[in-house]
């Protein structure tokens, strides 16, 4: 276990400060553009570009160092721990939005309808309001986009569930192939996963289009629309990110990166993909189905 006791301490790096400048420009630009500043959207695009530049530059450097054999088992463990805890932080981020969904379904909507000790709340505020879920008719519909219908679970969402579950299996197949050094099967498994991810995203885009154009189900459709689009939207963003990361990993595999002993990049992305899968199951059950 020689490598166990070798330390790796990298040199100074400009990537972090580049990332900070990009992040500040993106977010300050976003906030300004929300209030009609002409410079806002320009700063936003610039910041976004800087962040992309930083991610590719920084990650590229890490990939280069990894391929040059600079890292050891200890660095590998640090990466693994960090990725695991990062995914835990993502779980907690989604937990906030799931919490909002459960709170709306179990407390705020029934209470507005007079449940528990809220008889007078109901009488005083919106006495016509009926507490039902999915909430089509909000307490004060004049302020919101009232949907004609919602997205039903056993249509596109069910196909999407199938897509993501299958993609989890194809990714595990690729992982198995990596461990057994079967390069062609790694590529096949990864490519299948990416295609399934893209199918998922296309179907979700179709579903969003349907909701906005035909059903009037929008982000502004009361608490139902809010929780629906924020939860599925953030999830879709994560699938997009995961798909991009899988494409990078596929390109690295094609270039001959990774071996059965050393493939954290692959595994980190695989963990992320499985995490996104599990979030989808929660979404399918609690947002679409029940």
Partner 1 sequence: MATTTSDVQIDIDAHDAHHGPEKGLLRWVKTTNHKDIGTLYLWFAFTMLLIGGAMAMVIRAELFQPGLQLVEPQFFNQMTTLHGLIMVFGAIMPAFVGLANWQIPLMIGAPDMALPRMNNWSFWILPFAGVMLLSTLFMKGGGPAFGWTFYAPLSTTFAPESTDFFIFAIHMLGFSSIMGAINIIATVMNMRAPDMKLMDMPLFVWTWLITAFLLIAAMPVLAGAVTMMLTDRNFGTSFFDAAGGGDPVMFQHIFWFFGHPEVYIMILPAFGVISQIIPTFARKPLFGYSSMVYATASIALLSFVVWAHHMFLTGMPIAGQMYFMYATIMISVPTGVKVFNWVTTMWRGSLTFETPMLWAIAFVILFTIGGFSGLMLGIAPADIQYHDTYFVVAHFHYVLVTGALFSIIAAVYYWLPKWCGRMYNEKLARIHFWWAVISVNVLFFPQHFLGLAGMPRRIPDYATQFADFNMISSIGGFAFGSSFLLLTYIIVSCIRSGEPIEDERVWESAKGLEWTVATPAPYHTFNEPPQKDKILSESSHVGAH
Q: Find the binding residues for partner 1 in span 64-103 (CB under 8 A).
A: 70, 72, 74, 77-78, 81-82, 85-86, 88-90, 92-93, 95-97, 99-100, 103
Sorted by sequence, the CB contacts under 8 Å of residue 118 that are 6+ apart come out as: 111, 112
Taking alpha carbons only, the member of 268, 214, 201, 206 closest to residue 240 is: 201
Q: Work out the angle at residue 52's Cα, subtended by the Cα atoms of residues 47 and 56, and round it to the nearest 5 degrees.
A: 150
Phi, psi of 159 (to 5 degrees): -65, -40
Stretch that binds partner 1, among 12-20, 156-164, 245-253, 279-287 (CB under 8 A): 12-20
Please give the residues from 149 up to 188 whose contact with partner 1 meets the rule CB under 8 A. Answer: none
Contact call for residue 144 and partner 1 (CB under 8 A): yes
Contact call for residue 108 and partner 1 (CB under 8 A): yes
Inter-CA distances, 41 with 234, 244, 259, Å: 21, 24, 43
- Give the contact letters, 213-252, x = binds to partner 1 (CB under 8 A), - = no: -----xxx-xxxxxx-xx----------------------
Contact call for residues 66 and 77 (beta carbons, < 8 A): no
> Total residues at the site for partner 1 (CB under 8 A)?
76
Q: Least CB distance from residue 130 to partner 1, whole Å?
A: 11
- Kindly tell me which of 81 and 206 has the beta carbon lying closer to partner 1: 81
- Give the contact letters, 23-62, x = binds to partner 1 (CB under 8 A), - = no: xx--xx-xx--xx----------------------x----
Q: Least CB distance from residue 8 to partner 1, whole Å?
A: 5
Contact call for residues 114 and 121 (beta carbons, < 8 A): yes
Find where tokens 């809220």 sit: 118
Contact call for residue 275 and partner 1 (CB under 8 A): no
List 43, 51, 104, 246, residue binding partner 1 (CB under 8 A): 104
CA distance 163 to 166: 5
- Kindly tell me which of 62 and 178 has the beta carbon lying closer to partner 1: 62
Inter-CA distances, 26 with 110, 207, 238, Å: 40, 29, 19
List 2, 38, 148, 260, residue binding partner 1 (CB under 8 A): 2
- Kindly tell me which of 108 and 166 has the beta carbon lying closer to partner 1: 108
Beta-carbon count within 10 A of 106 CB: 12
């Amino acid at each position: 276990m020689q490598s166990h006791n070798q330390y790796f301490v990298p040199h100074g790096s400009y990537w972090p400060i580049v990332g900070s400048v990009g992040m500040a420009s993106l977010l300050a630009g976003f906030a300004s553009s929300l209030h009609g500043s002409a410079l806002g959207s320009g700063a936003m695009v610039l910041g976004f570009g800087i962040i992309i530049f930083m991610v590719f530059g920084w990650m590229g450097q890490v990939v280069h160092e990894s391929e040059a054999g600079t890292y050891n088992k200890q660095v590998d463990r640090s990466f693994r721990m960090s990725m695991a805890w990062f995914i835990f932080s993502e779980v907690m981020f989604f937990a906030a939005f799931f919490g909002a969904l459960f709170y709306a379904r179990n407390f705020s909507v029934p209470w507005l309808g007079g449940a528990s000790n809220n008889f007078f709340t109901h009488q005083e505020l919106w006495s016509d309001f009926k507490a039902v879920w999915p909430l089509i008719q909000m307490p004060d519909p004049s302020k919101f986009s009232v949907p004609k219908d919602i997205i039903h679970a056993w249509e596109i969402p069910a196909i999407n569930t199938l897509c993501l579950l299958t993609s989890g299996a194809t990714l595990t197949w690729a992982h198995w192939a990596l461990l057994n050094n079967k390069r062609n099967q790694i590529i096949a498994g990864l490519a299948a996963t990416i295609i399934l991810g893209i199918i998922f995203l296309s179907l979700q885009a179709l579903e969003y289009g349907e909701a906005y154009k035909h059903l009037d189900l929008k982000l502004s459709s009361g608490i139902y629309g809010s929780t629906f689009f924020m939860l599925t939207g953030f999830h879709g963003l994560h699938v997009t990110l995961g798909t991009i990361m899988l494409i990078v990993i596929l390109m690295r595999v094609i270039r001959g990166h990774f071996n059965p002993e050393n493939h954290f990049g692959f595994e980190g992305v695989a963990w992320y993909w499985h995490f996104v899968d599990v979030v989808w199951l929660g979404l399918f059950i609690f947002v679409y189905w029940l």
